[in-house]
Amino acid sequence: MDYSWLDMHSNKYAQSLGGRISVGVSRNTESIVRTSGTEAGMVITLVVCGKGRIRWDGQEMAITDSMILFRHPGSDYSLTLTSGVMHRRCFLMLPDEIYRLLCLVHPSMSKVPMAFHVDDVRRFFDDFLLVYDHIRSGHDEDLFALLPVLERYILRLLSGYVLDGKENALRRARGQLEVDYRSSLEEIAAHHDMSYNTFRKYFHEAYGISPQQYRLHSRVEKAKQLLSMGHQCSEVAAMLDYPDLFSFSHQFKQISGTSPSEYRKAHIL
């Protein structure tokens, strides 16, 4: 499988709050061992590919591709990654107090298992890059600016366990809006067992923006990521399902205030 989309970011790390928040992308073949006595705080790891085992509270699970590992603070666990196998991972480390705050707002978070499989690992990696960019470009005192970004990323990863009912349906619909540019809003609402009017009403109440505007802004944010990674404007237009380069350029400039080519020139990594 082609992992160039991740490998170009390998071994990049960023910190905030004097090192108490850490985020990074690693790529290695060495054996790694972690136990409850070797690390503190909360750690969420997106295992893009790898092999190993994790044990917690009398349970054991093989680590394979496309997994989330969620280390609760104070939990009894051990983790081993197999030597000689290529491990590609994205991790986020947070202090105990942020974990406790998130559990107060989302009580089900404390019951999330320490390992589970996910379907769309590439989409979660794109979400991870937004967190990485915020932490890399932020300042140590920017906790309140970081919290919404951290919460959104974590809830996306854990949504199957943390959310239920209407809130879960809205989260899943929001995730579809960020990657599905062809389905109509009516089709997306129906896919998540809502009428369009109900979907639009609840979405605006939850996020303060209409589903259509959210999709437009998400699409442009994704375009910014791709442009800064070096993709040509025409490539980005095709990757994001725009009918042509003109439509892409018009919408990009309408939302961001600058043309795709100007943005690419100023932000290419």
Residues 211-257 pLDDT 10s: 999 999 989 988 998 998 889 999 999 989 999 999 999 999 999 99
Tokens representing residue 98 in the block: 């942020």
Per-residue pLDDT at 143:
73
Using CA atoms, how far residue 163 sits from 145, 156, 172, 192, 263, in Å, is: 23, 10, 10, 14, 36
Per-residue pLDDT at 258:
93
What average pLDDT does the segment 71-97 reach? 91
For strand 67-71 and strand 42-49, is the pairing parallel, antiparallel, or unpaired?
A: antiparallel
Q: What is the mean pLDDT of the chain?
A: 87
pTM over 0.95: no
Instruction: Count other Cβ atoms within 10 Å, centred on residue 137.
Output: 10
- Looking at residue 236, the DSSP 8-state letter turns out to be H
Residues 160-204 pLDDT 10s: 676 556 777 887 888 889 888 888 999 998 888 788 888 898 888
Residues 9-65 pLDDT 10s: 888 899 888 888 999 999 999 888 888 766 678 999 999 999 999 998 888 899 999
CB 83, CB 29: distance < 8 Å: yes
Which residues 6+ apart lie within 8 Å of 200 measured at CB?
185, 189, 210, 211
The amino acid at residue 155 is: L
Per-residue pLDDT at 165:
60
Tokens representing residue 30 in the block: 């060495």
**CA distance between the termini of the chain:** 24
Per-residue pLDDT at 250:
94
Report how far residue 225's alpha carbon sits from residue 231's, in angstroms, rounded to the nearest whole number: 9
Residues 246-269 pLDDT 10s: 999 999 999 999 999 999 998 876
